[in-house]
Structures are given as structure tokens and as C-alpha cells.
Structure 1
Amino acid sequence: MLAIAEPDGRYGIELRLVAELVPLHALAEAIRARVRRAAAHAGLEASLGEIDVEFADLLTAEERAAVARALAAPTRAAEASGDRPAPDGRGATR
């Protein structure tokens, strides 16, 4: 994610994503809507400028499963050692 100050004082957002094959225009618009809602919830809607969504790569189902396994591997290793995720989601506790 990249936030860029715009000349009018607002901030534009650029997102680079990896996604499965889905209707990409609809997905990009759903992402923009979610960013707008989050900005509104935080009271920042007046500061939000253009939202650019770029799909950096597309994964097959097999590639996505491999990524999921790789991301889960540190979690499994931590669980085996007795570590638990910290309540705030950062780090680990014993």
C-alpha cells in the first residue's frame, strides 16, 4: 500500500494485490468501496483522494494453496513451541 499526498491536500491510496481469477473490475470497485467505508469510519473521508488498485499478480488455486501453506507454517511452528498469538495480534506470548 502507498499513500500519496495530492495537491489539494487529500491523500490518494495505491494498492498492489495478488488475487485469484475473478472479475477484476468488480473486485477493484469492491476494494475501493471498502477503503472509502474505512476512511469514513475513521473520520478521514475528506482526506481521501483517488484510490488506485493494481493487481500485481494472479494466482492459480494451486499457487494460492502453496502461499497459504507457507503463511501458516510459522503459525504451526509457534503452536508446536507453545507460543500463542498476543491478544493484540502482534508477536506471541507463552
Structure 2
Amino acid sequence: MCGYGWNHGWNGTWGWGGIVMSVLMLLLVVAVVVAIVFAVRYLAGGASLHHRGSSGPEGMPAEDRLADRFARGEIDGDEFRQRMALLREHR
């Protein structure tokens, strides 16, 4: 009967080797999950929003926000041209 059934090792314990293997398996599962999350974010284009450089806090480029304000009538044509020139000058 020795060595059969659920009891492996002394008194049914795994010992230090089993604990180390359990921790390593847990770390492997966490690493795989993190890799999948990063891959999905990269493929979905989430990472590209952070690398544009000209995007503001809303994720919209400054020129587009300025054009939107001009289209809504919040600023006039002269102010629009001045601000666009400043934006292009400081790229």
C-alpha cells in the first residue's frame, strides 16, 4: 500500500519541493495573463494613444481641438490662425 493513493511523501505532504513548484507555477500563470493583456492592448491600439505626442488630455490632437472650437464659434478667424501658427511653430 505504500506509494499508492493520495498520500505522496511523508504524512501526505509535498515538502519544500512541492511548495517551490506551486509558487513557480503561480508565477508562470501570472506572467502569461500579463502577456496576454499587453498583447491585446497593443493590438487594439491602446498603446498608440500614448505615443502621439500632440494629443491633449482628451486624446484629441491640439489642431483638431482648435478647429473644433473655431467651428463652434468660440474663437474667431484671426485667433484661430494665430493659435494654429503657434502650434505649428512649437512642434
Q: Does TM, scored on the shorter chain, surpass 0.5?
A: no
More helix by share: 2
TM-score by length of 2: 0.26
TM-score by length of 1: 0.26
Report 1 or 2 for greater relative contact order, CA contacts < 8 Å, sequence distance ≥ 6.
Answer: 1
